[in-house]
Chains A and B, each alone.
Chain A
């Protein structure tokens, strides 16, 4: 800190287009904060419409004059909000925050260095990602409105242009362009992380001496490098279908909205294979960094090395490897062969094994803690463990083809992935934010507000998403703009009202965090160099590499600072 004041302050241009990894970390962090606020607001609008589909809301019309005429949200508006919500949350929140933001913040120092392998490439990754985000938003401010095909964008709906539905013209094209750009940005970032881990460790730090966060970012980046190119290629092919008239994904002889379609010979299932070959690893791209963060922080606040460091390394590697082989479980009902379904089911279920290993390790580390401490960061980690167990167990239902045949595309699936990918992954992001905030802004977040926010969010997460499984039991389909057309859905409406109420409560609770975040950036208590008495090098960049491994906590060590 002292030395920095002596160097002249860099120009505004240099500070904005910075190659400093911590600046880039903050840029990714704020982009994902903006994205998550947007995504949550979209979900609240959707929840409102689902239970009060006929209420007039004047300001809907002020924003969407065409799609909410008279203040009533149209079905196409609902579906475009849903598409935007999914896309923003999966790509710009769950990919950017756990992986890009926090690896940039601490990866070099954790490896005993001060820089990423390619600082300029790093800067480029962020700005490419920002262009992708702006392109996505642009697709939704068009007069014709945003695309309505969901974040999975299944063809033919997404591949034949405006004839298949409102927003499926230029809006859907921009959506694919945005995702393509995002793939490039993520690829560059992932290659940078891989290079940094392989080439830029300080001499003396072996791979098995890296903090578990580094391991998980490393494995996640390998997943990114293997899966994003497939999505990029698929996106380019579908853009060719849309713009040039090829037929990779559109079969012949279609009659869409009374119009004969000129395509011929393509396969809609090909898109599903390519999309989920990316899409399932993407789920692990979202959660693996969280696992690393949680292992890391739990170790810190249990004041001891992880229950088994090696298990905490190899379990995520196993999850990533198996995660590449299970894309077909998204296609059990798509008309694939029962032999494929059986294979995909067995591999899917086997992911439970390394997941159980991780849960055992988190419980084991805390059980054998030298001293358990419960700052907000630790609370979010323990919350993560609870939500990870709950959300993981419902995966055992969906991994069975015969059970999936009922739950597929119902509220059960929505509850499952919001529990694990939405809530658990975000809990890891919250934990990381509280834990590394000192390194991000030189200040501490307010612990009292932090704990209040944690408890309310934890209760809210369960109050919202546990009952949502029951809507799935009743067969409530997802992606319905309202529930007025089916008799059986009327019985689910009281439950839907509960879900909407808790969603608004959970959303309101997040204001505590936003307030805490922004007030602490400017007015938080100044942080000491190592506020949590952590043993890893991000807290002590000039420290020695311990021969005992990264988590060399001992009783005497915990007394320092």
Chain B
């Protein structure tokens, strides 16, 4: 049967695609990102075995020569086998979940450095508290992109005078950072592939995202939630700097 052969070839092709992938994941630069890679590989093995088994079984049934008009076996065992299949699948899923890290177990860093992320249609801005270590008050009414105040720092609040607003996100390697995500208009999403995570930025909410990057480098920030016309142009840059360089940079600003 042709279909049986096609199933065999498809299964083989899927395996070859995995061993010779056209594209693959980028480097991982945080602890959770490395954990992701481990859990992905584990899931790939588990689902891969199930995939191959099911497709080969189907191909085998189609290709099998059978005696003409063999008497169908009674179906009484069907319910038992079905319950067994359900139990086996639950066992597979327990194996998957047990290998992964619980979503509750996210260790929150002590005293992370706070950096604010501001997203709007269709750009990123990042605010650092400056030498005083305190963010000034922000209000929507003070937002003026052309006048260089894209996050709306209140000029009447002296704590905001030294705040630094830039369009490249710089963070130190090896030190915990907490990004506080803000949007002024619609839902955006902060996605950096090398962090292996993304977080929606919901207007009206302030959502934290903890990052402890272990490898300096320049990475791309993409918006991953449809935010309107130029969604695909909402490009940002994450610069993970050696800690000393980062401190130098902060001193200069």
Give residues in A with beta carbon < 8 Å to B.
75-76, 79, 148-150, 154, 156-157, 164-166, 168, 251-258, 260, 267-269, 303-311, 315, 333-335, 338-339, 341-342, 345-346, 349-350, 352-357, 359-361, 363-364, 366-372, 374, 379, 382-383, 385-386, 389-390, 393-394, 396-397, 400-403, 405-406, 408-410, 455, 458-459, 462, 466-467, 470-471, 473-475, 477, 479-488, 491-492, 494-495, 498, 553, 555
CB contacts (< 8 Å) of B145 on chain A: these are 258
A372 to B63, CA, bound (A): 11
A79 touches B229 (CB 8 A): yes
A211 to B121, CA, bound (A): 53
A471 touches B23 (CB 8 A): yes
Decide if B158 is an interface residue (CB 8 Å cutoff).
no
B103 touches A345 (CB 8 A): yes
A307 touches B199 (CB 8 A): no
Decide if B186 is an interface residue (CB 8 Å cutoff).
yes
Decide if B164 is an interface residue (CB 8 Å cutoff).
no
List, sorted by A's number, 22 A–B pairs whose CB atoms are closer than 8 Å.
A165-B121, A255-B120, A255-B152, A268-B203, A306-B75, A315-B82, A335-B200, A342-B102, A363-B61, A386-B10, A386-B55, A390-B55, A396-B46, A402-B35, A406-B198, A408-B198, A466-B13, A466-B17, A473-B23, A475-B191, A475-B193, A494-B22
Minimum distance in angstroms from A306 CB to a CB of chain B: 7
B58 touches A385 (CB 8 A): yes
A338 touches B104 (CB 8 A): yes
A256 touches B204 (CB 8 A): no
| Chain A to chain B: the 4 pairs with minimum beta-carbon distance, closest first | A308-B78, A251-B204, A311-B82, A480-B232
A372 to B62, CA, bound (A): 8
Decide if B97 is an interface residue (CB 8 Å cutoff).
yes
A555, closest chain B residue (CB): B69
A482, closest chain B residue (CB): B232
B202 touches A334 (CB 8 A): yes
A371 to B70, CA, bound (A): 7
Q: What's the tally of chain B residues with a CB closer than 8 Å to chain A?
A: 98
B26 touches A488 (CB 8 A): yes
Q: 11 additional contacts, CB 8 Å, given A403-B36, A488-B193?
A: A149-B226, A157-B228, A168-B228, A306-B78, A353-B93, A355-B89, A371-B66, A405-B36, A408-B224, A475-B222, A481-B232
A256 to B224, CA, bound (A): 19
A338 touches B189 (CB 8 A): no
CB contacts (< 8 Å) of A342 on chain B: these are 102-104
Within 8 A of A (CB), among B3-28: 3, 6-7, 10, 13-14, 17, 21-26
B48, closest chain A residue (CB): A393
**Contact partner of A369 among B46, B72, B196, CB < 8 A?**
B72
B78 touches A307 (CB 8 A): yes
A315, closest chain B residue (CB): B82
A174 to B89, CA, bound (A): 44
Decide if B185 is an interface residue (CB 8 Å cutoff).
yes
B89 touches A352 (CB 8 A): yes
Decide if B1 is an interface residue (CB 8 Å cutoff).
yes
B51 touches A154 (CB 8 A): no
Decide if B110 is an interface residue (CB 8 Å cutoff).
no
A494 to B215, CA, bound (A): 29
Minimum distance in angstroms from A273 CB to a CB of chain B: 13
Give residues in B with beta carbon < 8 Å to A.
1-3, 6-7, 10, 13-14, 17, 21-26, 32, 35-36, 39-40, 43, 46-47, 50-51, 54-55, 57-58, 61-62, 66, 68-73, 75, 78-79, 81-83, 85-90, 92-93, 96-97, 100-104, 106, 120-121, 140-141, 143, 145, 152, 184-187, 189, 191, 193, 196-200, 202-205, 207, 220, 222-233, 235
A470 to B43, CA, bound (A): 15
Minimum distance in angstroms from B137 CB to a CB of chain A: 13
CB contacts (< 8 Å) of B101 on chain A: these are 402
CB contacts (< 8 Å) of B189 on chain A: these are 333, 409
Minimum distance in angstroms from A206 CB to a CB of chain B: 18
A148 touches B229 (CB 8 A): yes
A406 touches B90 (CB 8 A): no
B2 touches A485 (CB 8 A): no
A27 to B202, CA, bound (A): 43
Minimum distance in angstroms from A308 CB to a CB of chain B: 3
B199 touches A333 (CB 8 A): yes
A487 to B51, CA, bound (A): 33
Residue of A355, A366, A382, A492 with highest tally of chain B CB at under 10 A? A382
Minimum distance in angstroms from B167 CB to a CB of chain A: 15
CB contacts (< 8 Å) of A372 on chain B: these are 61-62, 66
A386 to B86, CA, bound (A): 18
A516 to B7, CA, bound (A): 25
A462 to B11, CA, bound (A): 10
CB contacts (< 8 Å) of A334 on chain B: these are 200, 202
A464 to B24, CA, bound (A): 18
A401 touches B55 (CB 8 A): no
A156, closest chain B residue (CB): B186
Given A350-B90, A466-B17, answer yes or no on A254-B185 (Cβ-Cβ < 8 Å): yes
CB contacts (< 8 Å) of A408 on chain B: these are 198, 224
B88 touches A356 (CB 8 A): yes
CB contacts (< 8 Å) of B120 on chain A: these are 255
**Contact partner of A467 among B22, B104, B106, B226, CB < 8 A?**
B22
CB contacts (< 8 Å) of A382 on chain B: these are 3, 58, 62
A470 to B121, CA, bound (A): 29
CB contacts (< 8 Å) of B102 on chain A: these are 342
CB contacts (< 8 Å) of B22 on chain A: these are 467, 470, 494-495, 498
B199 touches A335 (CB 8 A): yes
A459 to B71, CA, bound (A): 34
CB contacts (< 8 Å) of A79 on chain B: these are 226, 229, 231
